Amino acid sequence: MIKIERVENIEVVSFTVNKINALVTDQIKEQVTKLFEQAGTRLIIDLKGVEYIDSTGFGCLLSCYRESKNNYGMMKISNPEPPVIKLFEILHLHTVFEICHDTEECIRSFR
């Protein structure tokens, strides 16, 4: 469901599901929050393949983002699919999150 790998000292979280909704948000929040226990963690949420995020999913992303800030970390979004980009824009969350078109661009932006 959730895959975590480290690339250049940056945690990259990706998903094996195509929807982030109430069924999966608790697990996502739990695992991502653990990553921010280390102060200064840099994290990318890779949304490649995620076609839909519901309100609980966006709440989960915001909660993770808040956790990153509380622990002097950074969290960015990469690879959002077109329908998900639309949702970010409708909710004006593209002004909250730094969103990159691909993971490599996100990694470079941390340098």
How far is residue 45's CA from residue 84's CA, in Å, rounded to a whole number? 13
How far is residue 48's CA from residue 84's CA, in Å, rounded to a whole number? 10
Domain ranges for the chain, please list them. Answer: 2-109
Contacts of 5 (CB under 8 A, 6+ apart): 11, 12, 14
Residue 51 CA, chain-centre distance (Å), reads: 14
pLDDT exceeding 70 applies to what percent of the chain? 100
How far is residue 49's CA from residue 47's CA, in Å, rounded to a whole number? 6
Fold annotation for 2-109: Transcription Regulator spoIIAA (3.30.750)
Q: For all residues of the chain together, what is the average pLDDT?
A: 95
111 pLDDT band (50/70/90 cuts)? confident
State the pTM of this model: 0.94
The neighbour count for residue 16, using CB atoms within 10 Å, is 8
pLDDT for res 60: 97
